[in-house]
Structure formats: structure tokens, C-alpha cells
Amino acid sequence: MKPTTEFTQLLAQARSGDSAAHAAVFSAVYDELRQLAGRIDPRRAGHTLQPTAIVHEAWIKLSPKLDGVSGRLHFLAVASMAMRQVLADYARTRGRDKRGGDWSAVTLDESSAVDHGTSADLVALHECLEQLATLNARHARVVELRVLGGLTIDETADVLGVSHSTVESDWSMARAWLLRRLSPA
């Protein structure tokens, strides 16, 4: 991704209607978004949605909403929500098509809310994050930003406007809550 100030300038130009800047915003974030989407291994997850498709679908959701984006970290926060929605919509569609018999399972990496090797049904993860958001919206955002946004603890703290220690605490609590919810009974 381009340096923060250059990216912020591109966003400002895109918001003012510059179509070249709008395209440049996508080019500037494409590799990073693809890397984030690539955390989900389609072979292990049992689905066919590739990182490129996830990024393009997320961009379709994000593109008209650039007016509300203030900078790089905010963009990644919004992108993480868009990617989660794309993945959940895809998993729901596949589940509906198969009558629930073959929903996509996603293995989350070491920065995620579940341990190595633990597979979580994507729809279940999305639903759990929705439930968590009703209990504690910030905990759900921390998971979203860390897992799907790929943000560090410090970057997450900046986006949310809270301290480093608050994010660490939220991250710990949210992981424990998700582990309990997503673990097989």
C-alpha cells in the first residue's frame, strides 16, 4: 500500500470526483487486500471463492462509499467489514444451494480468534460476530479488524480511538468468547 499521506491524498482526490484517483485507490490497496483475503485457503476451507474474487466483490461494496473513508487505517477497517460480508454472503448462498449440507469452513491463521487447525464454519463465524456485536460492539470490531483487516494491535487502537491495552484486553476476551462459541460441543 502507498504511504499513509499519499493514500490519504488519493482518497481526497477520489472523493472530489477524480476518476483516475478513484482507480489509483484500488490499485494502491489491491495487493494488501488480496493478501488479507488470501488468508483463507480455499483448498482447506472447501470453497471455490478465490482471494481475487473476494477483493473485487469487496471493492464493489466499498467503491461508492469512499466519501466516508478518512485514511488508510479507516479504509482497512471498512474493507474488513466488506470482505466479511462478501464471505458470509457467499457461504450462505452455498449453504442455501446445498440445503446447509456443505457450508464453507474457514481455517483462520495464528492472528485469528481460534487456535491453529481449528476450522470454523464461515456462516457460524459471521453469526457469532453479529452476536458478539450485540453484546460488545467494540470486541466484534477488534476481531474484524485483527482477523479480516490484518491490523496490528496498535493500528486497531488507532482506528477505534482506544489504548493499546484496551485492544489487547478486548482481543483476549473476544477470542475466548469466540473459541467457546465456535468449538464443537
Q: What is the pLDDT of residues 139-170, one digit of tens each?
A: 999 998 888 778 889 989 988 899 999 999 99
Quote the pTM value. Answer: 0.62
Q: What is the mean pLDDT of residues 79-104?
A: 68
The helix (H) or strand (E) run that includes residue 6 is helix 4-15
Q: Residue 135 — very low, low, confident or very high, per pLDDT cuts 50/70/90?
A: very high
**Which of 49 and 168 is assigned the larger pLDDT?**
168
pLDDT of amino acid 134: 92
Residue 47: left (phi > 0), alpha (psi -120 to 50), or beta?
beta
